[in-house]
Structure 1
Amino acid sequence: MSTAIIGLGNIGSRLAKNLVTGGETIIVAARTPDEAEEVAGDLGRHAEASRVEDAIAKADVIVLAIQFDAIRQFLVTHREALAGKIIVDPSNPIAPDGKGGYRKIIPDEQSSGVLISGLLPDRARLVKAFGTLGAESLEAGANRSPERAVLFYAADDAQAGEVVARLITVSGFSPMRVGGIDQSIRIEVGGDLHEYGAWQAGQRQRGHVARLSGLRTVHQIMEERLTMNTETRTVSTLAELQTAVDDDQVLYIVVSAQIDGVAALRLRPGLALTGIDAHAALRFAPGSDGLQLSADNRVEGLRVATDPDRRAIFNDTRVDGFGRLVLRHLSVVGVVQLLARDSVAGGHVEAHDIDIWAADARGYEERPKGYGVEVVPGVFTLWNQSEDRGVVITADLTGLSAGRAGAPVRGSGIFVGGAGEMGGRVVANRLETGAVHSDGGIAPGTPDRITGGVFVVSGAFVASVHNHGPVTTYGSNDMVLDNWGTVDRWIVDGKVSSHGPSGIGFVNFGSLERLEVNALIETFGQGSRGFNVYTGTVRSAQFERVVTHADGAVGIQISQPVGEIVVRRGIETWGGTGDSLVKGVVVRLAATALSIKPGGSARKIAIAGGLITHGEGVNPLELHGAIDALEVSGGLTAAGGGFATI
């Protein structure tokens, strides 16, 4: 969905900057075209200046970053054009009082959100958002580390709320819904959740407000609720846990011990489950699944364990949407599986710092298919299976780890996907991983099945993928990093290693704008290539170094047009000719350092450190396509014979 910001004052300009910084493409409009052009020019290629009327026509989401009184008139003037749009209102119903303070310009018990909702055009949907913080905090609080600050929002329409929640995430904050528009007074100036909270006693007539600690994290808010809310229950036994889950008045369950022998447990909508300390754990009975989420659930600070091949955390697909599912600071044995299918028609998922010690996803037989193969799902799977392209799951995923060195999880590692090019989509701002170790357990020679350490599947759209830790695969047909989806930027800071036959360090079938591999890619299995572009597009790719050790293991293979490829410390192969899996077919390949296949081309390839092969009769360079500019420093060396150093 496209977004327009109308009004480029203190709030509008800062919000535009935050969204562009997060990679969102936006339309900006202001009182004059010159003002919009100036702001768009400062923001760069992700911002387009437009007249107000054109911005409304082009965009699906309209952020009205203008004064409260101006919004009311704006809705009248542009009523017809705004029909069917998502309208975002960050306004606060205050004005200067002429004495250095502010006054509320509507009755104390009223909110601007409720009043504006009554003025909406047909089919328009209102979301109250981006007005919780003052302009300075909106700018300074974005992308805080290690945990993001919260921006509250209110919405009656769940899907509209999810769309705006994604924008809040892109802008550098953690979104939290407070309820419907009738709750918007809480997030306006003077409300208990606004940075400038309740009107100070004795100063109300002068219009002063008390500034609260507006930049709060989700964790801090949860702590506040756990200490203040009487609907919290602390449990340490199986009986106490079940009683709390069954009690509709309980909103927060605090686990204060290790609880063993738990049967599969469903969390009703809105229920949160948190551990009190590092000892808090839920260990489920043998043969049992674990926690079933419904909608608007939060699970954090827990150890959750089932049998490795069971679902430790999964979702009820009979509900009409995820709402907002939050998983944070979890240590898991078993599969984490979140599926959008059946009745699920949307939602948002946040998963942060999830460490899956052991799991086996090979028994889950629903598998995406394409390019002559099927993909085994991951031990962490977020998969939109809906055939309806209008079903969108948004996500923010960081700190996902799986397996241990020498003790990999079975199946794929981290799996994020939609339902292909024409079906439901997953739209993620971030997909960030720690260490991932996986083994698909595929029998050698199987031509039509693969796995991936980190796999972005068709129908997934990810702004940024970042592998902070090493990603290692151990089995046959195990891709280490695989893209079938659409990724703006993929950064690899941990070593990429493949130990099984017919694996690939990084393989692309989708659309990838920019790839930065700042660590070694190294493969050890027969036919295991370093980097391969089968189809799709790669605009720019940078590599530290690529090394392969076995027969048929090409260093870099290009079968489609690509942009620029840079290798900083050379490509080196140690094998000869051998079998390798290519799009579901086993073929014979020589371990060429750089291979440009028929149909492959590159605008520019620059390699420092040379192209070196050690297999007998293996050429360093195979060129059946076109390269506009080729630069190789360090020479082309066939150390196994048949080619001299240049």
Structure 2
Amino acid sequence: MVYVSNPIEMTKALSSGETVIEVTRSMVFANPIYLPDGIQLSAIPQENGVLPTIFFSHSDGFILTGSSRLQNLSVVTLQDKKAIQLTSQQVAESFGTIHLENLTVDGQISLIFRTPTLKAHVVTKNVHVASSDTRTYLEQPQKYGVNVLQGAYTLYNFNANKDSLVTAAIDNLSIGSEGHPAIGSGVFISGFNDQGGRVDIDQMTLGDVYSTGLIPQGVADFITGAVFVVYGAHVSHLIQNGKTVTYGVNDMVLDAWGEVNEWVVNDDVISYGQSGVGFVNFGTVNHFKANKAISTYGTGARAYNQYDGTLKEGYFAGIQTFNNGAVGIQISKKVGKLVVDGDIVTQGGLGQSLVKGVNVDLPAYALSMKDGGQLESLTVTGNIISHGDKVTTVTMEDGALIHHIEVAGQIEANGQDSQAFDTDQTKALFKG
């Protein structure tokens, strides 16, 4: 073990092959630092209890070349740089284990595994990314007519080989802060695509996540997600204990193209931006539970949208949208049991909303069942209400099915020239 207190001592320690390094003072570097395989880099609290900070003045930060442990550190780069990343020139089939613990970071954490890596494990515990800007990074998932911007924390298996598997355990990861979101996505987990390299996470627990893509209004082919489980990614248990908030155009709050067995959200889910969906699912989610209401405030910002894939069981504490074109619930594929323990309420009228990479005009339906959409059962303990003008509260297209319905409260349309149901058949189905 060696103790370092300035850049010269750090450089000498790495040049001499030291792999256990303790940082005792803050320091500034002008260039990125390559860390060797097997490195253990941590900091010792200073006399006042504050951990040292390693600053990078105008470059990326640490570049990991193999198994690495970084802990008890503050790492600061400019927000459009990568504070911690993997070398892009990967040469071994096994990258080893990346262990990140008790870190505060400015700049992206970029864990992108590439050919020929077939095996790696990532441990992330008590990590906060205060700021980042990922808009310029070109490795982006593409599907459904859109590209996804990387996240402040990006775990990405970019190897096309289907035998490549990255496993991970993530505990108490948080992104941004209220009014100061990370730019791009927040937590981004992705495989190469639906057939290539994969990411498998047994448990992921998150704190607060605040993000925005700063996407210009009218752009329809780029999106972000505060928490995004992309294709090729599987999470067994996803637990969110903090607020999840997005601010801008096409900023999804919760998004899945991959697979999640159990997804529990214990705090607010809020979207402030245009076409920023609260929870959108293209993948397979077995069990989803939101213990607080999902709220959206932007034009065309739907609260829950089942585009593709399936949701087997969904529990919502409530659904509320506050702008034009902001549908409460829209179902386009098969969903099993759906329970809303509260109200489904929309406030707006007609407005533009992003649908599979195209902006279209939509009324703020409270419940919209599309052709091909199916619900095994729908239970609403409160009311289903629309307040906007020229809005239908509940609409069912030909080919939509709901097998069992229980609505304890009223189904109302309170706007001018609005109606509760689109057809008498829909009314009869709900009035039973």
Q: Which bin holds the TM-score, normalised by the shorter protein?
A: over 0.9
In 2, Cα distance between equivalents of 1:234 and 1:591: 61
User: Relative to structure 1, is the Cα distance of residues 391 and 619 closer, same or farther in structure 2, using a 3 angstrom cutoff?
Assistant: same
Q: Residue 295 of structure 1 contacts residue 319 of structure 1 at CA under 8 Å; is this kept in 2?
A: no
- Aligned partner letter, 2:194: E
- The one of 258, 261, 264 aligned to 2:26: 258
Aligned runs of 1:388-427 on 2, under 5 Å?
A: 388-427=161-200
- The one of 396, 409, 425 aligned to 1:634: 409
In 2, Cα distance between equivalents of 1:294 and 1:465: 29
- Aligned partner letter, 2:405: L
How far apart are 1:368 and its partner, in Å?
A: 0.7
1:516 is paired with a residue of what secondary structure?
Answer: strand
In 1, Cα distance between equivalents of 2:70 and 2:139: 26
Look up the match of 1:302.
Answer: 73
Look up the match of 1:148.
Answer: none
1:242 is paired with a residue of what secondary structure?
Answer: helix
How far apart are 1:262 and its partner, in Å?
A: 5.1
- The one of 33, 41, 44 aligned to 1:276: 44
1:615 is paired with a residue of what secondary structure?
Answer: coil
Q: Residue 385 of structure 2 contacts residue 411 of structure 2 at CA under 8 Å; is this kept in 1?
A: yes
Structure 2, unpaired ranges of 5+: 422-430
- The one of 142, 149, 153 aligned to 1:369: 142
- The one of 30, 39, 62 aligned to 1:291: 62
Kindly provide the CA deviation profile for residues 26-48 of structure 1, in whole angstroms up to 9, marking residues without a partner as x.
Answer: xxxxxxxxxxxxxxxxxxxxxxx
Q: Normalising by structure 1, what TM-score?
A: 0.63
2:42 is paired with a residue of what secondary structure?
Answer: strand
2:303 is paired with a residue of what secondary structure?
Answer: strand
- Aligned partner letter, 2:12: T
Q: Residue 238 of structure 1 contacts residue 262 of structure 1 at CA under 8 Å; is this kept in 2?
A: no
In 1, Cα distance between equivalents of 2:290 and 2:420: 30
% of aligned pairs identical? 39
Q: Does 1:574 align with 2:343?
A: no
Aligned runs of 1:331-370 on 2, under 5 Å?
A: 331-370=104-143
In 2, Cα distance between equivalents of 1:274 and 1:287: 22
Considering fraction of residues, name the structure with more strand.
2
Look up the match of 1:215.
Answer: none
Q: Residue 340 of structure 1 contacts residue 346 of structure 1 at CA under 8 Å; is this kept in 2?
A: no
How far apart are 1:342 and its partner, in Å?
A: 3.0
In 2, Cα distance between equivalents of 1:522 and 1:626: 26
Q: Does 1:432 align with 2:205?
A: yes
Structure 1, unpaired ranges of 5+: 1-231
In 2, Cα distance between equivalents of 1:242 and 1:644: 70
Q: Residue 28 of structure 2 contacts residue 57 of structure 2 at CA under 8 Å; is this kept in 1?
A: no
Q: Residue 257 of structure 1 contacts residue 279 of structure 1 at CA under 8 Å; is this kept in 2?
A: no
Q: Residue 487 of structure 1 contacts residue 511 of structure 1 at CA under 8 Å; is this kept in 2?
A: yes
Aligned residues: 414
- Aligned partner letter, 2:50: H
2:12 is paired with a residue of what secondary structure?
Answer: helix
In 2, Cα distance between equivalents of 1:285 and 1:301: 17
2:278 is paired with a residue of what secondary structure?
Answer: strand
Aligned-residue CA RMSD in angstroms?
1.3
User: Relative to structure 1, is the Cα distance of residues 545 and 622 closer, same or farther in structure 2, using a 3 angstrom cutoff?
Assistant: same
Aligned runs of 1:45-444 on 2, under 5 Å?
A: 232-248=1-17, 250-261=18-29, 263-277=31-45, 279-317=50-88, 318-320=90-92, 321-444=94-217
How far apart are 1:644 and its partner, in Å?
A: 6.4
Look up the match of 1:143.
Answer: none
Q: Residue 263 of structure 1 contacts residue 284 of structure 1 at CA under 8 Å; is this kept in 2?
A: no
2:14 is paired with a residue of what secondary structure?
Answer: helix
In 1, Cα distance between equivalents of 2:406 and 2:265: 24
1:504 is paired with a residue of what secondary structure?
Answer: coil
In 1, Cα distance between equivalents of 2:327 and 2:271: 13
